[in-house]
């Protein structure tokens, strides 16, 4: 007879606690969709009332569409996550205390206000299945202030993110001894946002 102890909740046969998968793929960026809809709604309203405009129809249309387009381009460019991006196929350790190697594609997308890191495992072969097959991570880290990357690194360590993602965050959070890439990206983002506003 098996007894249920204080720390045995959600465990099966004495294994560590497992709460199930909570992976949702990113299909679109919600901020960009909201910003686009904010600018498309007045544009559609203007096009609906356009037949009622009697004088200066062409000038009004050009002025309105130009101003709406400039506003949309500026705001979407501030919030878009792809000012600088890259991806590479890696073979790396996945976690501590294991010899398992992860064959994956690591993608990094730098925006003005945030960083998006994607890690997707690549199946080795059809016949041979690995426990890491089907692995998909998509993490977003904010550039809120000077110490935001250090806070994001601590939060990522508590979450238990894979080593490749932790390495990217660690690399961008270091701000000494010539490793100032993270600070330069944050400063560039802040200055560009100020100039665009």
Average pLDDT over residues 10-20: 59
Q: What is the Cα–Cα distance from 163 to 73, expressed in whole angstroms?
A: 36
Describe the crossing of helices 163-173 and 148-159 by its angle, rounded to 10 degrees: 160
Give residue-wise pLDDT tens across range 50-109: 888 888 889 989 999 999 999 999 998 888 877 888 899 988 887 777 777 888 899 998
* Strand arrangement, sheet containing 114-121: 84-93, 101-110, 114-121, 136-142
Give residue-wise pLDDT tens across range 107-155: 998 888 888 899 888 877 665 556 666 788 888 888 877 778 888 888 8
């Amino acid at each position: 007879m098996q007894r249920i102890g204080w720390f045995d909740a959600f465990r099966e046969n004495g294994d560590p606690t497992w709460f199930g998968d909570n992976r949702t793929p990113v299909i679109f960026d919600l901020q960009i969709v909201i910003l686009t809809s904010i600018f498309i709604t007045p544009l559609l309203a203007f096009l609906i009332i356009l037949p009622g405009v009697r004088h200066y129809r062409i000038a009004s249309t050009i002025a309105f569409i130009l101003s709406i387009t400039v506003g949309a381009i500026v705001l979407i460019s501030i919030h878009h996550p792809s000012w600088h991006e890259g991806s590479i196929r890696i073979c790396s350790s996945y976690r501590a205390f294991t010899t398992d190697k992860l064959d994956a594609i690591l993608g990094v997308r730098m925006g003005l206000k945030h960083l998006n890191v994607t890690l997707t495992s690549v199946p080795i072969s059809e016949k041979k299945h690995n426990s890491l097959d089907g692995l998909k991570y998509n993490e977003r880290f904010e550039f809120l202030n000077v110490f935001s990357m250090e806070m994001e690194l601590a939060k990522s360590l508590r979450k238990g993110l894979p080593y490749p993602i932790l390495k990217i965050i660690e690399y961008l959070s270091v701000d000494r001894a010539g490793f100032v890439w993270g600070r330069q990206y944050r400063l560039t983002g802040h200055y560009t946002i100020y100039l665009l506003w």
